Structure 1
Amino acid sequence: MTRLTLVTRYVAFAMVATAVNLLVQRIVLLGGDTALWFIAALGAGTLAGLVVKYALDKRWIFYDTTTGTAAQGKQFGLYSLMGVITTVIFWVTETAFWMIWGTDFARELGAIIGLTVGYVTKYQLDKRFVFQEVSR
């Protein structure tokens, strides 16, 4: 795969996962706008985005063909673990924007900035620790 194809796919998949994340957050936030609803929205959106991004990365970025429940479970666990640092970047940025400006637009802008920084970092971690046997 060429570098341009890799970057194009990765950016497109990050955008899809970000859209899923924010859509799920909006749905959860229909329940209320308290701090508890915000935390629930962050968690639900993060999980939804994680699952979508894993499926896309596994198949179209790293061409991974790992099968079997145990192997896939271990791999998804590593993928999720690599996401802890990047998720903190995303959550801190989104929360800071929400607390400073207090608007949905600012919250989502913070999410997009945090997710962008996080995804760039996550690609390097995934390539090195999760999909190292199949990386191209």
Structure 2
Amino acid sequence: MTKGFVDNNQALHAIYFYQKMVGSNSKPNKYTYPPLLKACGIVGVVEEGVQVHTHVVKHGLRGDGHIRSAGIRMYVSFGRILEARKVFDERAESDVVRWNAMMVGYRKGGDVDAAREMLEAMTEKNTVTWNGMVSGLLGWG
């Protein structure tokens, strides 16, 4: 349901649905959280986003790659780069999606040097990596 709401530009409905879900003692799963974190970032509801991330930790799902990526992007959207970095650093291994999210977060936050360091440290790069870095350097993103 949360994904359906987000996919149909109804992020607030996704958040409201989740609140009802939690209130009725329904147990969310690993598929609930990525679109929900995205919804919080879209709407810009920092407090709710932090609460959702707390639920992720409470339910033992913080190691899920999709949830971690969504958490990084959510914190970046709030301008909370330190929190995004904490989510990034929670586990030693990361894939190109999380590296890209963190690199773009630094770039959007104005820390081009940190973004460049991320780029240089990445062992795997893809088109999104290069587009993310180049668009920032050219002022497109």
Q: Structures share a fold, TM > 0.5?
A: no
Greater fraction helix: 1
Q: What is the TM-score normalised by the length of structure 1?
A: 0.26
Which one scores higher on RCO, CA 8 angstroms, separation ≥ 6? 1
What is the TM-score when the length of structure 2 is the normalising length?
0.25
